[in-house]
């Protein structure tokens, strides 16, 4: 009986991890499809300047965005896709889940409240909270593949 709960948390954590990963990939691909770039970054940064809902801590982020809009325009969609792929694969799961949550907090700080962001925040927090959310990811698949190819007790080359 104890084996069922021991497997349940990693399986649920893995399912949640993949779900939030897919959402990140879709978010990044949508930005690429829409031609997201420097103009979008400046629109967000300039919009936060007089927005009373923007927290005080966002001011240095806004200044950096205004100074480097081309860089942000290129890296934001890439960051989203990379976060998603890493979560789907189960690579550095807790670190990536923390990065996911931090990225969403940054978006909220800029008052970019898109409907799926609260869901993504909760899913990312759940992945971070379940220590074994990455157990059934890429490393597990590779280990099983090597075991199949080389057999038990045979070192992989």
The sign of the torsion formed by the CA atoms of 141, 146, 149, 152 equals: negative
- The pLDDT of residue 28 is 96
Distance CA 52, CA 149 (A): 60
Helix (H) or strand (E) holding 27: helix 3-34
Closest listed residue to residue 19, CA positions, set 132, 115, 114, 120: 120
* 16 and 127 Cβ atoms separated by less than 8 Å: yes
pLDDT at residue 7 in the model? 67
CB 14 within 8 A of CB 93: no
Instruction: Quick: pLDDT tens for 42-52.
Output: 999 999 998 99
Predicted local confidence at residue 59, as pLDDT: 94
Give the tens place of pLDDT for each residue, 98-123: 999 999 999 988 988 788 888 899 98
pLDDT attached to residue 104: 92
* pLDDT for the residue numbered 5: 64
Q: Which value, to the nearest 10 degrees, does the dihedral of the CA atoms of residues 45, 49, 53, 59 take?
A: 80
Quote the pLDDT of residue 63. 96
Domain residue extents for the chain = 8-150
Instruction: Give the Cα separation of 80 and 34 in Å (integer).
Output: 14
Which stretches in the chain have pLDDT values below 70?
1-7, 138-145, 151-157
């Amino acid at each position: 009986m104890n084996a069922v709960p021991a497997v349940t948390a990693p399986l649920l954590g893995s399912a949640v991890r993949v779900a939030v990963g897919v959402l990140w990939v879709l978010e990044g691909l949508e930005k690429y499809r829409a031609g997201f770039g420097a103009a979008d970054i400046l629109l967000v940064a300039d919009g936060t300047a007089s927005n009373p809902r923007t927290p005080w801590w966002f001011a240095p982020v806004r200044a950096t965005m205004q100074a480097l809009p081309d860089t942000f325009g290129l890296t934001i969609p890439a960051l989203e896709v990379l976060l998603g792929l890493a979560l789907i694969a189960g690579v550095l799961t807790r670190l990536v889940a923390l990065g996911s949550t931090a990225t969403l907090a940054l978006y909220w700080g800029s008052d970019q409240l898109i409907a799926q962001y609260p869901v993504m925040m909760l899913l990312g927090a759940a992945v971070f909270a379940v220590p074994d959310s990455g157990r059934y990811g890429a490393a597990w698949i590779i280990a099983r593949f090597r075991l199949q190819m080389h057999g038990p007790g045979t070192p992989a080359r």
